[in-house]
Structure 1
Amino acid sequence: MKGGNDKRPAGKTRHPAPGQRTLPATQGGSNALPTGAQVGEFEIVDLIGEGGFGIVYLAYDHSLHRHVALKEYMPSGMASRTQEMHVIVQSEHYAGTFKAGLRSFVNEARLLAQFDSPSLVKVYRFWEANGTAYMVMPYYEGITLKQALKDHRIVPTEQWIREFLGGLFDAIETIHRAKCFHRDIAPDNILLLKDGRPLLLDFGAARRVIEDLTHSPTVILKPGFAPIEQYAQVSGMRQGAWTDVYALAAVVYYIVSGKRPPPAVTRMVDDDMVSAREAGKGRYSEAFLAAIDRALTVQPEQRIQSMQDLRRALAIDDDAGTVARTRSAAPQRDDLERTRINT
């Protein structure tokens, strides 16, 4: 199903009126909707995940009779919910930031709805209602790469990594062709599905907009996976395709060495990182490891510049993603965890 033009007006940003009551917080201060709540034709079945900027539910689509993942825009630090399920801004001070985040959430949904890659989250539809916005996605089941490595559920041979990267190259190149960049590629943002296919999660566009406006952008950075140009204090460095190149190479380094690279700001001052060639020596080919080292160059202009260039450097064919989806590259245990779509 194609989504993207099913947008309903949400009206003006609401603030608590005198005497207006908000929904009592659930255990742990959650803003999540209760089980059984109806959002359009979707019935809330369970809570999948809740973060500072959104909530993801398992929901049942009564129109198409299937389970889906429903994501709700809910920046908990500046909004709450009334007993009528409306999301309201806690203070006029936050109104502009809330609206900017809402626009970014909708734009992200619209963007994802246009993409068609097996390794990208698909958005079926999105709309605005109840003072907020929602997007509906497939209900994915799998385990994050980070957890799979921690639990020793995969054996990361070079062939496995090549097939794994083939799917991710397809996804990231799809994004880049639209002049967009992910900027948060990391082991906890990659889901391994039951068929072995990697799924790239969490664009986090609304979160980035809000944290930029509140002057705390470094909160979203993952040390070791974020390149130097993503740090706010480093001026004169542009972000681009090479930003995602660094992050993806850092993911491979993490797989190969069992450790994330040192933070880019530390490497900028004193780069004592053990090279991929050294960390993976004897287990992976020298050419493969050398390409990862080049992609992890601290200075952006000296780094591999595009996913196409990284693909060529690693000698990964364009059809590698297809191979990864057809071979038994899946995690080796059947007890895969519930989907995790970042909030």
Structure 2
Amino acid sequence: MEPSVKLCMGCMNELDADGRCHHCSYSDDIPHLQSYLAPKTVLDNRYVVGKMLSYNGEGASYICYDMVGKCKCVCREYMPDTLCERDADGLSIKVNKDCLAKYKTFMSEFADMNKLLSKMRNLDHLVTAKDMFAENNTTYVILEYIEGVSLKKFLQSNTGFLTWEQVKKLFVPLFTTLNIIHNSGIIHRGISPENIIVTTDGELKLTGFCISSIRTSNTGMMPEFYSGYTAPEQYSSLQWQGTWTDVYAVAAVIYRILTGCMPLDANTRIHNDTLVEANRINPRIPRHISDALTKALAVRGEERTQTVTELVSGLFEQPSRMEHSKGSTQTIPIQHVPREERQRRYEAENKIEQRYGQKKKGSRVATIVGFCVLAVLLAIGIYLMTQLFAPPEENGSTVSKSSSSEYVYVDSEEEDDYEYGTTTTQATKPVDDTEFGMGSIMPNVVGMLYSEVEKKMGGEFTLKPKYYYSEVDERGYVKSQSIPEGVDYDPARKNELVVDVCAGPPSIPVPDCSGYSKKDYLSLLDSLNIKYSISNEKSSYVEVDMVIRTSIPAGSYINIEKGEVLTVVVCNGKISVTQSATVTQSAMQSATQSVTETQAWSDTQTEWSDTQPVITDTEPVVTEQPQTDEGFYNNW
């Protein structure tokens, strides 16, 4: 019987007698992406392809079964989806027009990289290639299958972080492997918890090698970046990459393991570097390890640790004992004095004490009295200096000193009112570091887009944005935060974080409604935060569900801050020619009656006051020429 019939295509384990798999929930009824290989496809008359495990801009990875070796393995298929597509037969690759040269160049780099990795099969901490062949106008690489989980899942199931002693045991072999890879001229560019596998034996294995263009911006291929672990130079195709690129990623992984917090994205740090040192987040991290990680995570490549060897030296070489900072405890060698010399010194000291005992006793009393007087004078001087240079109290705030020598600020101001742009100044209220728990350090989110804050910190805080209007500040950016930067907090508590977000200017011009459908125009108004109401009207010249006009002309300003409402008139049906003529005639009669009433009122006013100057009224001429329905609506 064929292996494709007896094996589960989801995990490549043997099926039960009833055709079900008790290892996974995979079923043959699950559809697959048509752009990739279908399960049960046989490659090179040897490998049975199963379900797809992952894919990126370089290609796809499938679980497969080696019918010769009788074992599981992973098949990596070169298929850059921006350069080619799957043919109708479901197997062959068809290269797009004008992309053949680039397709072959990248495929050659793909093959050379895996050939070089296949020569490192003796490395126990590296997932290497077992076989490689060309078929279906592309290249396939067969990798060993590793039983285990990714480091990301491992951390999620183990309190989220590890101690330095645990990290040291895990990463020492991986450092050696990575150093050998660098010496062979290969740069990984994608080291992250997703590409490090923790085996069932508790060892780490590095996987996820790709060509350089996949992990660099602006190369014509779909880039694959790992937020927090990708180095800054990978976001630009104009900067040099090298061993220091992988050093950044490894340091970011260790930073994440020791602190439990993912480092800030490098693309964000380029413009606003607010990375917190590791030992500030977790005080149990040794100082020299925190310094080594900070240097390895430098934004500028030339200022960063250049090689893995330098990184290992910074992590494992502790400072010399003789290099003590001022005030630190030092070990001083004790000099041993012979017994005879000690006895002689003791007898001499006794004679001196007997001779000058009374004098020393009196001098001791004088010394104690002098110290007391000096302490009193010093206390008085400190008090006077405090009163002289103390800053004046502002905004009714009072300062009191607690028993723990920490100042507590009591604010008498009312809370800010941010409702629709009304803001008042409130005195800053320092927060106790233990109020929000322990475990993480509050970053600075001022100057960031609120959408980014919501994306990165929405899982750790209960975000409450307060919107205000401003002609100066940019719309959508955070102006202030309720929890100050550097304060400890516990992500599990879901503390409330109030941020002031600019909602844009208080008045904006009304957008032109010409040619807009009801759905599109209302979406545009929603994006501009303009309140609106809908009015329906029939028309002979506007299509159904199209906008006829607005209550405020296009280009005129509407005050969003005061809550002005824009009325949007939408066509809800066609009007007939007869109805149009009736409406036109009624409108003309109303206009004529209005002109007559205005003339009568003017004559009355002229007769009422003799002192008023003579007003010459020219009665408007109402033309009896028939007017089209469209012209009537335009004039109206």
TM range (shorter): 0.7 to 0.9
Structure 1 distance, partners of 2:210, 2:44, is 24
Deviation, 1:158, is: 1.0
Q: Which residue of 1 aligns with 2:302?
A: 301
1:43 aligns with 2:44: no
Q: Name the CA shift for 1:97/1:304 in 2 (closer, same or farther; >3 Å).
A: same
State the match for 1:228 in structure 2: 232
Match of 1:20 in 2: none
Structure 1 unaligned blocks of 5 or more: 1-25, 317-343
Decide which structure has the larger Cα Rg and report it: 2
Aligned counterpart, 1:119: 125
What is the aligned counterpart of 1:83 among 71, 79, 89? 89
CA distance in 2: counterparts of 1:210 and 1:183, whole angstroms: 9
Change (3 A) 1:125 1:30: same
- The one-letter amino acid paired with 1:193 is T
Q: Distance in 2 between matches of 1:108 and 1:165?
A: 24
Distance 1:272 1:153 in 2: 25
Alpha-carbon distance between aligned partners in 1 of 2:163 and 2:214, rounded to the nearest angstrom = 35
Stretch deviating more after TM superposition (306-315 or 55-64): 55-64
Partner of 1:72: 77
**SS of equivalent to 2:128:** coil
Contact kept, 8 Å, 2:52 with 2:61, in 1: the verdict is yes
* Separation in 1, partners of 2:271, 2:90: 54
For residue 55 of structure 1, the aligned residue among 45, 56, 60 is 60
Query: How many Å apart are 1:274 and its aligned residue?
Result: 1.0
Q: RMSD across aligned C-alpha pairs, in angstroms?
A: 2.5
Task: Provide the secondary structure at the position in 1 that maps to 2:53.
Answer: strand
> What's the counterpart of residue 290 of structure 1?
291
Q: Which residue of 1 aligns with 2:345?
A: none
User: 1:182 aligns to what SS in structure 2?
Assistant: coil
> Is 1:94 the counterpart of 2:73 in the alignment?
no
2:37, 2:90 within 8 Å by CA — same for their partners in 1? Answer: no
Q: 1:273 to 1:244 in 2, by over 3 A?
A: same
What amino acid is the match of 1:279? I
Change (3 A) 1:128 1:139: same
1:263 to partner: Cα distance: 2.3
8 Å contact from structure 1 (residues 190, 200) kept in 2: yes
One-letter identity of the residue aligned with 1:221: F
- Specify the alignment match of 2:428 in structure 1: none
Task: Find the counterpart in structure 2 of residue 10 from structure 1.
Answer: none
Structure 1 counterpart SS, 2:47? strand
Distance 1:160 1:154, change over 3 A: farther
* % same residue: 26
Distance 2:150 2:39 in 1: 26
Task: After TM superposition, give the deviation of residue 151 of structure 1 in Å.
Answer: 2.8
Cα deviations across residues 192-221 of structure 1 (Å, max 9, x unaligned)? Answer: 11111111111211762897541x67x323
Matched position secondary structure for 1:203: coil
Question: In structure 2, the residue corresponding to 1:220 is in which secondary structure?
Answer: coil
Deviations 1:38-81 (A, max 9, x none): 21142325224131332222222222222222211122342103
1:188-207 correspondence runs (5 A): 188-205=194-211
Match of 1:329 in 2: none
Distance 1:296 1:135 in 2: 33
- Contact 2:215/2:224 (CA < 8 Å) preserved in 1? no
> How far apart are 1:144 and its partner, in Å?
1.1
- Unpaired segments ≥5 residues, structure 2: 1-29, 318-636
Q: Which range moved further: 32-41 or 273-282?
A: 32-41
Evaluate the alpha carbon distance shift between residue 64 and residue 257 of structure 1 in structure 2; reply closer, same or farther with a 3 A threshold. same
Whichever residue aligns with residue 287 of structure 2, its letter is E
Equivalent in 161, 168, 179 of residue 173 of structure 1: 179
Within a 5 Å distance, the mapping from 1:29-40 to structure 2 comes to 29-40=33-44
Classify 1:260/1:278 alpha carbon distance in 2 versus 1 (closer, same or farther; 3 Å): same
Label 1:80 to 1:220 Cα distance change in 2 as closer, same or farther (>3 A).
Answer: same
Larger mean CA deviation between 58-67 and 237-246 belongs to: 58-67
Q: Is the 8 A contact 2:48 2:66 kept in 1?
A: no
Distance 1:232 1:69 in 2: 32
Q: Residue deviations 1:85-134, cap 9 Å, x none? A: 22222x31332332223212211211211223211111112111121111
In 2, the alpha carbon distance for the partners of 1:210 and 1:129 equals: 28
Map 1:145-184; keep pairs closer than 5 Å: 145-152=151-158, 156-184=162-190
**Residue identity opposite 1:85 in structure 2:** L
1:257 and 2:238 matched: no
Kept after mapping to 2: 8 A contact 1:181/1:241: yes
Q: Deviations over 1:311-330 (max 9, x none)?
A: 111118xxxxxxxxxxxxxx
Structure 2 length-normalised TM: 0.42
- Tell me, in whole angstroms, the C-alpha distance in 2 between the residues paired with 1:290 and 1:184: 23
| Native 8 Å contact 1:73 1:134 kept in 2 | yes
How far off is 1:171 after superposition? 2.0
Q: Shift in Å at residue 169 of structure 1?
A: 0.6
TM-superposition CA deviations, 1:241-273 (whole Å, max 9, x none): 111111110111111222222222332333221
Contact 2:59 2:79 in 1 (8 A): yes
What amino acid is aligned across from residue 241 of structure 1 in structure 2? Answer: T
SS at match of 1:109: helix
Aligned to 1:330: none
Structure 2 counterpart of 1:38, one-letter code = V
Structure 1 window deviating more from structure 2 (149-158 vs 116-125): it is: 149-158
Equivalent position amino acid for 2:299 in 1 = V
Q: Is the 8 A contact 2:252 2:297 kept in 1?
A: yes
| Change in 2 beyond 3 A, CA 1:211/1:298 | closer
Q: Which residue of 2 aligns with 1:108?
A: 113
Q: Which residue of 2 is the match for residue 315 of structure 1?
A: 316
The 1:57/1:42 distance shift into structure 2, 3 A limit, reads: farther
Please state whether the residue corresponding to 1:119 is helix, strand or coil. Answer: coil
Change over 3 Å in CA distance of 1:56–1:226 after alignment to 2: closer
Residue 274 (structure 2) aligned to one of 263, 272, 275: 272
- Once the two structures are TM-superposed, the CA of residue 154 in structure 1 deviates from its matched residue by 7.1
Query: Could you tell me which amino acid in structure 1 is paired with residue 151 of structure 2?
Result: L
User: Structure 1's 289 and 211: CA in aligned 2 closer, same or farther, altered over 3 A?
Assistant: closer
Cα offset, 1:230, TM superposition: 1.9
Counterpart Cα distance in 2 of 1:128 and 1:191: 28
**CA separation in 2, counterparts of 1:111 and 1:153?**
38
